[in-house]
Amino acid sequence: MLTLGIDEAAKGPCIGNMYIVGTLFNEKDLDKLKEMGVKDSKLLTHKDRIELGKKIKKIAEKILVIEATPKEIDEAIDGDNNLNLNWFEAHHIADIINKLKPDRAVIDCPSTNLEVFKNYVKNLLENKNVELIVKHKADRDFIECASSSIIAKNKREENVLQIEKKVKESIGSGYPSNPVCQEFLKNNYNKYPDIFRKSWKTYKKVAGQKNLTDF
User: Is the domain defined by 2-164 classed in CATH 3.30.420.10?
Assistant: yes
Q: What is the pLDDT of residue 14?
A: 96
Q: What is the pLDDT of residue 78?
A: 84
Q: What is the pLDDT of residue 178?
A: 95
210 falls in which pLDDT band (50, 70, 90)? Answer: low
| Cα(135)–Cα(9) distance, integer angstroms | 16
Inter-CA distances, 159 with 18, 62, 87, 211, Å:
9, 22, 23, 29
Three-class HEC string of the chain: CEEEEEEEECCCCCECCEEEEEEEEEHHHHHHHHHHCCCCHHHCCHHHHHHHHHHHHHHCCEEEEEEECHHHHHHHHHCCCCCCHHHHHHHHHHHHHHHHCCCEEEEECCCCCHHHHHHHHHHCCCCCCCEEEEECCHHHHCHHHHHHHHHHHHHHHHHHHHHHHHHCCCCCCCCCCCHHHHHHHHHHCCCCCCCECCCCHHHHHHHHHHHHCCC
Q: What is the pLDDT of residue 212?
A: 44
Beta bridge partners of 68: 18
Beta bridge partners of 25: 3
- Decide: 81 and 90 in contact? Cβ < 8 Å: no
CATH of domain 168-208: 1.10.10.460
Q: What is the pLDDT of residue 200?
A: 94
Task: List, for residues 30-45, the tens digit of each pLDDT value.
Answer: 999 999 999 999 999 9
What are the sequence ranges of the domains in the chain? 2-164, 168-208
The percent of residues in the chain predicted with pLDDT above 90, rounded, is 91
User: Strands 131-135, 104-108: parallel, antiparallel or unpaired by DSSP?
Assistant: parallel
| Cα(191)–Cα(94) distance, integer angstroms | 35
Q: What is the pLDDT of residue 209?
A: 66
Task: List, for residues 155-164, the tens digit of each pLDDT value.
Answer: 999 999 999 9
Q: What is the pLDDT of residue 208?
A: 85
Q: What is the pLDDT of residue 79?
A: 72
Residue 181 has pLDDT above 50, yes or no: yes
Residue 186 has pLDDT above 80, yes or no: yes
The predicted model gives 13-37 an average pLDDT of: 97
Q: What is the pLDDT of residue 213?
A: 46
Q: What is the pLDDT of residue 143?
A: 98
48 falls in which pLDDT band (50, 70, 90)? Answer: very high
Task: List, for residues 53-108, the tens digit of each pLDDT value.
Answer: 999 999 999 999 999 999 999 999 887 666 799 999 999 999 999 999 999 999 99
Task: List, for residues 124-143, the tens digit of each pLDDT value.
Answer: 999 999 999 999 999 999 99
